[in-house]
Structure 1
């Protein structure tokens, strides 16, 4: 199979990444609905709908904002404006969605944590989307730096690069299994599973960014890495509580 992989169907080139992106949203949502039916949800249906709306709007705004910050010197022309609207990143989507949820909960006065039900559908959705990124090769800015290591792959430009999307696929499998194990074996507080997911995923993305050919840096960090630091600071109280918790010997 050649990368980028864009098969032809009935004389039409299929945008594999776009197809898998829409498929990721659809399957992740259906998985969420399945999990909600199997678990007792303390949040009412109307409030849950408001929370999903807040998450969607926050994710939409956050993904575009961080996507712009990854390439802030773009010239403002009509073509570039269209490109900017199509530029997005899952990191901005996750953090923007988090802020959107918190704002929605304040508006509807919902006190219960709402993130745990979203954890595994989010991981599944990211996984499917990352398959599309990998198959898109250098057509999507998710590829890694040129490397001489045995992991190097030709992603479409004739150079051996770190397949960072492939690395992420393996990490997501590990994270899914690990969080399933933690959720089944430990008595977590409501909302803790989502916090652990966010800290784990943002921690991974902070590290993997060093393998990507980023151009724009602030204090030696990319915009994605700065967002990761902001996420850690946002959950600093939770991190402190984990570190200070006394575990039985």
Structure 2
């Protein structure tokens, strides 16, 4: 496979990443509506739409802001175009979290609303990372050089950690985990909180095998985002610890 991988589309060369990114969005939305049919949603349809809008706007902003902070030395050279083009999933989750909580306060919704999104997000992430993998080192999701058996040439002749494939494998494990928890008696909202904690724990750890740029105290913007999520859900973490004892 030659990175970045392209396909012919009506005579033009198109990056496969665009196809998978679009497919991830479509499948995620369709899966959400499919799962929604099987439950009685305590949140009205109009409020659910407002919450989705808040999530989308928050994710749009958050993904760009955290991506900008991934390269602190280049912040002053940012243009509006480069700001918009660079994005990160972790920042999207963080911004989406802010957007949802803000909208819920405005419309007066106090019920946890995230559980129904967990499986669609996991599936969409898996598909999206297929697109990231197809870009090789042209997409800033690759790892540092390694001599381990997992090393792959992602287009620059060097054996690197295929971080995109690691995340795909992690998504498979999360999918299995949440299928096992499907019929467990959990508080409303706990599944989404658990997903966020596990995903950001993964992102915090995997940054150490990526060529990241420290933002503060030798930690990247992604790692600081993870620490914020851990602090935000500290009550849930304490509850998990008490449950495990």
Unaligned stretches of 5+ residues in structure 1: none
Aligned equivalents of 1:161, 1:84: Cα separation in 2:
27
Query: 2:57 is matched with which residue?
Result: 57
> Hey, what's the Cα distance between the residues in 1 that align with 2:97 and 2:54?
9
How high is the TM-score relative to the length of structure 2? 0.96
Residue 3 (structure 2) aligns with: 3
Asked whether 1:214 is paired with 2:217, we answer: no
Question: Residue 177 of structure 1 aligns with which residue?
Answer: 176
- In structure 2, the residue matched to 1:205 is 203
What is the CA deviation profile of residues 130-178 of structure 1, one whole-angstrom value per residue up to 9, with x for unaligned ones?
0000111001000000111111100011111000000110010011111
Residue 8 of structure 1 aligns to a residue in which SS? strand
Secondary structure at 1:74's aligned position in 2? helix
Q: Distance in 2 between matches of 1:215 and 1:105?
A: 34
| 2-structure distance, mates of 1:177, 1:77 | 43
- Which runs of 5 or more residues in structure 2 are unaligned? none
Partner Cα separation in structure 1 for residue 74 and residue 49 of structure 2: 36
Match runs of 1:71-86 below 5 Å: 71-74=71-74, 80-86=79-85
Q: For residues 15 and 189 of structure 2, what CA distance do their matches in structure 1 show?
A: 37
Matches of residues 115-194 of structure 1 in structure 2 within 5 Å?
Answer: 115-184=114-183, 186-194=184-192
Q: 1:102-137: CA deviations, max 9, x gaps?
A: 111110101111000010111111111100001110
SS of the residue corresponding to residue 7 of structure 1 reads strand
- Please report how far the alpha carbon of residue 10 of structure 1 lies from its aligned counterpart in structure 2 after TM superposition: 3.9
Cα distance in 2 for partners of 1:211, 1:11 equals 38
* Distance of aligned partners of 1:75 and 1:179 in 2 relative to their CA distance in 1, 3 Å threshold: closer
Write the distance in 1 (CA, Å) between the matches of 2:206 and 2:82.
25
Q: Distance in 2 between matches of 1:164 and 1:20?
A: 17
TM-score normalised by the chain length of structure 1: 0.94
Which moves more between the two structures, 197-206 or 12-21?
12-21
What secondary structure is seen at the aligned counterpart in 2 of 1:47?
helix
Q: Over aligned residues, Cα RMSD in angstroms?
A: 1.5
Which residue of the partner structure matches residue 93 of structure 1? 92
Whether contact under 8 Å (1:183, 1:193) holds in the other structure is no
Aligned to 2:235: 237
User: How far off its partner does 1:76 sit?
Assistant: 5.3
Alpha carbons 1:24, 1:126 under 8 Å: kept: yes
In 2, Cα distance between equivalents of 1:93 and 1:32: 18
CA, structure 1 residues 241+77, in 2 after alignment: closer, same or farther (shift >3 Å)? closer
Instruction: Quote how far apart the aligned CAs of 1:225 are.
Output: 0.7
Q: Look up the SS of the partner of 1:245 in the other structure.
A: helix
Paired with 1:246 and 1:194, the residues of 2 have a C-alpha distance of: 19
Which residue does 2:105 correspond to in 1?
A: 106
SS in 2 for 1:13: strand
Please name the residue that 1:223 is paired with. Answer: 221
Aligned length: 245
Shift of 1:202: 0.5
